[in-house]
Amino acid sequence: GNLSRRPAQWPMSHERVKRGWVWNQFFVVEEYTGTEPLYVGKIHSDSDEGDGSIKYTISGEGAGTVFIIDEVTGDIHATERLDREEKTFYTLRAQARDRQTDAPLEPESEFVIKVQDINDSEPKFLEGPYIGSVAELSPIGTSVMKVMASDADDPNYGSSARIVYSVLEGERFFTVDRQAGVIRTAVADLDRETQDRYELVVKATDMAGQMGGLSGSTTVTIVITDVNDNPPRFPQKMYQFSVSEGAAVGTSIGRVIATDADMGENTDMSYLIKDEEGGELFRVSTDGDTQEAVITIKKSLDFENKRTHNVVVEAVNKHVDPRFVDLGSFRDQTIMRVSVSDVDEPPIFIPPTGTIMEVQEDVHLGALVGIVTAKDPDMDNVPIRFSIDRNTDQEQIFNIDPVTGAITLGKILDRETAGWHNITVTAVEADNQSMASQTAVSIRILDVNDNPPELATPYEASICEDAKPGQLIHTISVVDRDEPQSGHRFYFTLAPEASNNRHFTLWDIKDNTAGIRTQRSGFNRREQNVYLLPILVVDSGPPALSSTGTLTIHVCGCDTDGAIQSCNATAYVMSAALSPGALIALLVCILILIVLVLLILTLKRHRKGQRMSEDEEDMRDNVIKYNDEGGGEQDTQAYDMSALRSLYDFPEVKNSDSGPDLHPVPQWIQNRVVGDGGPKVEQADADLSVPPYDSFQTYAFEGSSSPALSLSSIRTLSTTSEQDFSYLSDWGPRFRQLAGYYAPAQPEEEGS
């Protein structure tokens, strides 16, 4: 192609000038094999007058390498062999310039060089080789899989990329769709058991399969999957097994297997025993891993009873395909012949599960309790010897005859002590002690009426003094260690010595209980607070036994609602419950306590008398006067010494482990005002042997118009004060007497 330019002058002013390029696409064939550069096309400007004043240049993809241009003529050549499958087109830009000034004469324009396709690429199966599968016995035309080839040639130009498919190998069993590439079955009798896979070669040809087209091929492996079209089959119609008659239940006898030409779950099968006799003695199960039939013993075998057993075993497929049921039965049978071998067996007891015997509790020594039977199950029928396991009969209550198995009584029985005896009897063969077996014998002791009935506790009752006649005051019941088979029946009556009493009556309720009713009213516990009522109880036998029990009835005082308040019988019961020695010990303890209390009181009074005499001796006239402060402006009287000489009780201070006993301050002290002062206070405080009151001065009156208030601290002894002076006791011995004045009142000391 070429480029041309419409006639136009180069713009000499600032007016806009249209481009003059006229384009045709360039095409170049791929895979050029010539020796000279391949001509592609020519670009030309309308302003080119052929004088060589215009220089043509190109830029873009492949410019200067793949494509070159003649600067004078504008001819473009391809210098390399092009491959459309590698690159389909190239985009370049053309420019016309003035050769002298290198100024552009035209705006730069873009053009495209397309690579023209030739059939140089063969079809390829990019996903091959292929593996597919189809079930055996599938109908003709069943789709197996799809194959696909691709061609790198241009699918829009010619037939270079038009592909058709064909089967080169395996066309007898499979076909392929020419256009779509779908592989299908060509026959209906594909049998996995005959051939389980097929190898196909599929070819793809371009140019729509025409002569000269290129082709490629791939292999296709088709696996034939299994269907359950084969029944199970036992390789043999009979199997021989042998087992000892002493084999335990659950012992495996042997294994058989039915073969199946199928595979996977189509070979899963179950086994069952078809004959009734074999089903009673044997059990068959399927080994899930090996699909074998495992035959085990279901019931103990007996050589002496039957020596050979023919067991019919059937194998059945678990997963039967209904499409192939017409091929035949999907099950098979075989016979298992089991031979039982003889072994020396221990004796067996009859019955084998144990024996229950009964015997009266009053039978005599040596009496027959029962007979144990055992035999040798072997053909020899060896004699049996019996014995009792003494670990189960340590008291040797029973004996057994070693030959006959007769159990006899060795000691007197008592049902009330033990109602059942469970012993173990051992049987051994006479000539082989190792052949031994044991059985449990339970002996029930039958009851004999040998225990009289007795009144059940409690044996006491209470009534109110104002009880009404006919009032039910107590219900009595009975205990009896016997257990007659027909049940208990007891009869109640008052003992002969109490049958004529006028106080109480007995009422037989007929349900093995009896009620006590009052016969009169007006009981008085001061006259008689206890009544003893003997009651006779008789059982139904045989033989009938009886006993007499005494019911103690207490007369009590009750409230208006009938609730018991007190009974004189309480003290009586307590004294009756104590022994003479206990009473003597109790009295001695009480006397000792009384003596100790009196002794303490005596000592306390004695010590108090001594202290009071000492306090009186301390009251002397040597009160030292110092620093007399006076009584105020209107006080015309001095302090009165007689106030100190008056006899009053100073509180006592007693030393003890628990602290000082503080006593209340005398009333007259609470009504005075006391002051202290003077230079001898320190001397008096330092003397620990002098009481603190030897320097007190009293002021009865300070004057009504004195501007000075009282300086006394003792005015705080008011009874209404809430101040706590307990801290004075912590100030030492000099303040001990003062602390006594302020201590809380002690009523017991005031009383003394």
**Hey, which CATH number is domain 348-446, 3.40.50.12780, 2.60.40.60, 3.30.70.20, 1.10.1030.10?**
2.60.40.60
Place of tokens 């008291």: 395
* Ranges 97-111, 299-313, 530-544, 560-574: which has the least confidence: 560-574
At residue 298, the 3 state secondary structure works out as: coil
- Residue 210 is predicted with a pLDDT of 83
- pLDDT band at residue 636, thresholds of 50, 70 and 90? low
- 451 or 701: which carries more pLDDT confidence? 451
Distance CA 399, CA 196 (A): 80
* Ranges 295-299, 306-310, 362-366, 712-716: which has the least confidence: 712-716
Record the tokens describing residue 334, joined without a space. Answer: 């075989």
- Residue 277 φ then ψ, to 5°: -65, -45
Which superfamily does 238-341 belong to?
A: Cadherins (2.60.40.60)
Residue 632 clears pLDDT 70, i.e. is over it: no
* Class level of CATH domain 25-116: mainly beta
- Residue 655 is predicted with a pLDDT of 43
Residue 649 clears pLDDT 50, i.e. is over it: no
- 122 or 574: which carries more pLDDT confidence? 122
How far from 452 is each of 124, 481, 544, CA to CA, in Å? 116, 8, 8
- Residue 660 is predicted with a pLDDT of 40
Question: CA angle at residue 656 from 654 to 660, to 5 degrees?
Answer: 50
At residue 276, the 3 state secondary structure works out as: helix
Query: For a pLDDT cut of 90, what percent of the chain falls above it?
Result: 38
- Residue 550 φ then ψ, to 5°: -105, 125
Residue count (the chain): 752
- Residue 673 is predicted with a pLDDT of 37
Record the tokens describing residue 600, joined without a space. Answer: 């303490």
Q: Where are the beta strands (DSSP E) in 257-352?
A: 269-273, 282-286, 293-297, 308-317, 331-341, 348-350
- pLDDT, tens digit (0-9, with 9 covering 90-100), for 689-707: 655 555 555 555 555 555 5
Record the tokens describing residue 215, joined without a space. Answer: 């082709």
- Which whole number is the average pLDDT over 429-455? 91
* Ranges 135-144, 329-338, 619-628: which has the least confidence: 619-628
Task: Tell me which H or E stretch contains 90.
Answer: strand 89-98
Contacts of 353 (CB under 8 A, 6+ apart): none
Parse the chain into domains and list their residue ranges: 25-116, 124-225, 238-341, 348-446, 454-565
- pLDDT band at residue 157, thresholds of 50, 70 and 90? confident
* Class level of CATH domain 454-565: mainly beta
Q: How many Cα atoms sit within 13 Å of 473 on the Cβ side?
A: 34
Predicted TM-score (pTM) of this structure = 0.41
The DSSP code sequence of 611-630 is HHHHHHHH--S-PPP-S---
The DSSP code sequence of 517-563 is EESSS---TTT--EEEEEEEEE---SSP-EEEEEEEEEEEEE-TTS-
Q: Which of 239, 310, 322, 241 is nearest to 281 (CA)?
A: 310
Distance CA 752, CA 597 (A): 17
Q: Please state the separation of Cα 731 from the chain's center in Å.
A: 70
Q: Which residue type does 387 have? A: S
Residue 7 clears pLDDT 50, i.e. is over it: no
- Asked whether the beta carbons of 117 and 31 are under 8 A apart, the reply is no
Sign of the four-CA dihedral 563, 565, 568, 573: positive
- Asked whether the beta carbons of 227 and 266 are under 8 A apart, the reply is yes
* Ranges 17-26, 92-101, 180-189: which has the least confidence: 17-26
- Residue 24 is predicted with a pLDDT of 58
Distance CA 340, CA 749 (A): 113
Residue 468 clears pLDDT 70, i.e. is over it: yes
**Hey, which CATH number is domain 124-225, 3.40.50.1370, 3.40.50.2300, 2.40.128.90, 2.60.40.60?**
2.60.40.60
Long-range contact list for 405-408, CB < 8 A, 24+ apart? Answer: 405/371, 405/372, 405/373, 405/374, 406/368, 406/370, 406/371, 407/357, 407/368, 407/369, 407/370, 407/371, 407/372, 407/441, 407/443, 408/366, 408/367, 408/368, 408/369
- Residue 702 is predicted with a pLDDT of 52
How far from 357 is each of 37, 281, 409, CA to CA, in Å? 128, 33, 12
- pLDDT, tens digit (0-9, with 9 covering 90-100), for 226-282: 998 888 999 999 999 999 988 999 999 999 999 988 888 888 889 999 988 888 999
- Which whole number is the average pLDDT over 312-328? 84
Contacts of 205 (CB under 8 A, 6+ apart): 123, 163, 164, 166, 213, 214, 215
Q: Same topology for domains 238-341 and 348-446, yes or no?
A: yes
At residue 498, the 3 state secondary structure works out as: helix
- pLDDT, tens digit (0-9, with 9 covering 90-100), for 356-375: 999 998 999 999 999 999 99
